Structure 1
């Protein structure tokens, strides 16, 4: 891969076109040409043409297409790492050279669903505070439906929440894609049982989220239960992920939680994984803001910095909790 690095360096020196590398970076982060197009506000043919231009310039195939899905080649993985490094250096250089950051003052009001576990998100907040020490940040936890209502009323800077369908007045960027799976707690009768099947679960009662209903943000969980023929009732519910997790542990019923959040619970045998092994549904947390809201300097800096972080790291990297 040393030769490939030299070819990329020659490409940057001879005909610098960061837009091609940035487009490839977004394609790899989204793992979809159509999602990359939506995120960059471009058409899918434009994204495909940019990818082809980069491949032609480097003389390497970067992506192997398989219908709607693709897999990066070894060269594609290496170019992705190079593009990540370049973008990180550019972002840090921009911050270091901007002597206006200390002068930016103001407040940022961020709305958020409960329990966002991401080491990169924590690092982003720390870096933002170092860069903009005079900006005050207020984070309020609420349900996604309330979060969206507040954003539509222009009463907050931005939100991190669930939004299954695009809303005309809101900008929307996928921040995390969480795989939900089924679990029971240590006090439940199914805890520790091996070789369970879906049939073993159909009569069990449920702990769920208040948004777990048809048409709401977690309706994929509702659809899954209906399609599989579950007959148990919802015996406990909360809008808080931590409280749903607590009730599942306490044995009120089985329930769904994001896989990356409960890894330690599985290791410590507080929770027990249930079928299906592949999980139930992917649920996305989006960064949302009102495109018509006039932002102050602090709010603009917050959104710009967060978007740069999201462009640099893939969805999978953002899921790491430590």
Structure 2
């Protein structure tokens, strides 16, 4: 007769596993090196290495292949990282949830935003939510779009408002608005204030852009627009923040792409000059992203519900900014 499976093994594993080992592993996986992880955790390098060894021994699996100039998660390590990130997010939220046991909405809302979010509809929902629930608090934190989504995946942020490249099946997405990008230069640039420009006039000029402004990435239509103008392939300035890309354009460092509705005021103030093409511009969608497995407090749930209801009630034509 075959031996019955040990049904107590998962429970024993849960009792005996040190959650601090998981936290150390998550930081180590994100850091990509023991040295960097030790600095982030304020620990000595041998302590981090020992924690990894204990975790591998407890699981009976090798989690990281590492050596001189080499650091890579194994298949087991990658699976553990995904689950540990969610566990960490849930643990971080426990204290917050306990503070929300009250009839009045007092929860904290943490929104991760890409730097180029300019959306009157979103601003209106923020204002309406605050008017209805003045004791609720919020923090709006700026990230690259990839990092904003990572915050939602880890359950560290209530929701994200950002660009989306590849959809994670564990997350939910809703298009918030659509914007169109055009090319601009600043006062020091030789094309500034020149009338009657054509696309060929941009040939050979250098560019500034976003980190996601490259072929195959979320802003690849902007890259194609530059390529059609036969601009210099050399990018002289790059940033993940719209404000810094704008700064470089105004300073004359290069021609850059910005959402038309974001650049409108700078055009009227004489800080930016619109360049061709003037039609068939790349359309970029900005999404609301949230994690359905996140146990939201009342403030988070009410805000997300109000935002989604407002999106559904507003035709996409009224959420398209050109």
Give the TM-score range, shorter chain. 0.5 to 0.7
Asked if residue 261 in structure 1 is aligned to residue 262 in structure 2, the reply is yes
- 1:103-122 alignment to 2 at 5 Å? 103-122=104-123
Q: Secondary structure at the match of 1:224?
A: helix
**Residue 55 (structure 1) aligns with:** none
Q: Which SS does the other structure have where 1:262 is aligned? A: helix
Specify the alignment match of 1:175 in structure 2.
Answer: 176
Secondary structure at 1:169 match in 2: coil
2: distance between equivalents of 1:285 and 1:259?
Answer: 14
The DSSP-based 3-state class of the residue aligned with 2:256 is strand
Computed over aligned residues only, the root mean square deviation of the Cα atoms, in angstroms, reads 2.0
How do 1:163-202 and structure 2 match up within 5 A? 163-202=164-203
Match of 1:205 in 2: 206
- The 2-side partners of 1:192 and 1:135 are apart by 48
Determine the structure 2 residue equivalent to 1:293: 294
Change (3 A) 1:250 1:174: same
Partner SS state of residue 103, structure 1? coil
CA contact (8 A) 1:182 1:275 kept: yes
C-alpha separation in 2, matches of 1:134 and 1:295 = 17
User: Is 1:282 the counterpart of 2:283 in the alignment?
Assistant: yes
Q: Secondary structure at the match of 1:307?
A: helix
CA distance in 2, matches of 1:232, 1:216: 16
Q: Does the CA-based 8 Å contact 2:209-2:238 persist in structure 1? A: yes
Q: Which residue of 2 aligns with 1:139?
A: 140
Q: Which runs of 5 or more structure 1 residues have no equivalent in the other structure? A: 1-100
The separation in 2 between residues aligned to 1:258 and 1:237, in whole angstroms, is 16
SS in 1 for 2:309: helix
Which of the pair has the greater relative contact order for Cα pairs under 8 Å at 6+ separation? Answer: 1
Against the structure 1 CA distance between its residues 319 and 227, is the aligned structure 2 distance closer, same or farther, given a 3 Å change threshold? Answer: closer
Q: CA deviation at 1:161?
A: 0.5
Further displaced range: 229-238 or 186-195: 229-238
TM-score after normalising by structure 1? 0.64
Cα 1:279–1:264 shift into 2, 3 Å: farther
Q: Residue deviations 1:37-94, cap 9 Å, x none?
A: xxxxxxxxxxxxxxxxxxxxxxxxxxxxxxxxxxxxxxxxxxxxxxxxxxxxxxxxxx
Change in 2 beyond 3 A, CA 1:266/1:316:
farther
Deviations 1:180-239 (A, max 9, x none): 011111111001112211111120000111121223221221233335533341101111
TM-score normalised to structure 2 length: 0.64
Contact in 1 for aligned 2:109/2:138 (Cα 8 Å): yes
Pair 1:217 & 2:209 matched: no
Which 5+ residue runs of structure 2 have no aligned equivalent? 1-101
- Count how many residue pairs are aligned between Structure 1 and Structure 2: 221
1:186 and 1:250 in contact (8 A); partners too: yes
| CA distance, structure 1, for counterparts of residue 220 and residue 118 of structure 2 | 22
**Contact preservation (8 Å) 1:180, 1:257:** yes
Separation of aligned partners in 2, 1:177 and 1:319: 5
SS of alignment partner, residue 208 of structure 2? strand
Task: For residue 310 of structure 1, report the CA deviation from its aligned partner.
Answer: 1.2
Q: 1:130, CA displacement in angstroms?
A: 1.1
Residue equivalent to 1:313? 314
Native 8 Å contact 1:180 1:258 kept in 2: yes
Q: Report how far residue 114 of structure 1 moved.
A: 1.1
- The offset of 1:279, in angstroms, is 5.3
Could you tell me whether the CA contact under 8 Å between 1:162 and 1:284 is conserved in 2?
yes
| Structure-2 separation of matches of 1:152 and 1:191 | 43
